Amino acid sequence: MNTVTVTMLMIITAYLAGSISSAVLVCKIRGLPDPRSSGSGNPGATNVLRIGGVSSAALVLFFDMLKGALPSYFGYLMGLDAVSLGLIAVSACLGHIFPIFFGFKGGKGVATAFGAMAPIGGDLALCLMLTWIVLVLLTRYSSVAAMATATLAPLYTWWLDERFIIPVAMLSTLILIRHKDNIGRLRIGKESKVSRKKTIKKPNTKSD
């Protein structure tokens, strides 16, 4: 099987894996409201934190990152080049953002993108994680933390392993594009901050 065929199969597999909505499934299994119609309306870990608490959000975060990490790691093991790995990682994120199994209504793709970057090395994963955590604690805005971390990710990659700058830059660009609405709300002071609540009765604006 040639490299092009392997890459195409991995891209399709990554999209299908990304289309499995961890947030929707975790909330359904735990008897929580559908995250697509509760809280911010975004099926991601931050919204699940609002409507279901820390443990549910942690599960969603783990599985969302896994959706990005596994396809990228398998592509790396197959010896694919950096551009091919980037396309596979972006495909996993697009599956999360536009999931074929859940009516093409997905999340921002942040956790999946960072998960796809993680196989590059533990040092990069640690830098991304610490940056995101520190910025969330300082600003209380998940969107600000995500955008800032995405912006810094190519710089971290250049410092740690410059071979993967292209795929990381592709993922960072996708994250920033997905946050255009958040940027608008930040400008007018209407962006939601991170909070922990058990139930949310009324929909709010999207923030992650």
Write out pLDDT tens, residues 97-115: 999 999 898 989 999 999 9
Position with higher pLDDT, 40 vs 127: 127
CA distance linking residue 6 with residue 8, whole number of Å: 6
Residue 200 confidence (pLDDT) above 90: no
Flag the least confident range among 9-13, 117-121, 183-187. Answer: 117-121
DSSP character at residue 9: H
Q: Which residue carries 């990659």 as its tokens?
A: 157
Collapsed DSSP state (helix, strand, coil) of residue 18: helix
Single pTM value for the model? 0.84
Crossing angle of the two packed helices 110-117 and 82-97, in degrees rounded to 10: 160
Longest dimension (CA), the chain: 53
Residues 81-97, mean pLDDT to the nearest whole number = 92
Instruction: Provide CB contacts within 8 A for 199, sequence distance 6+.
Output: 33, 51
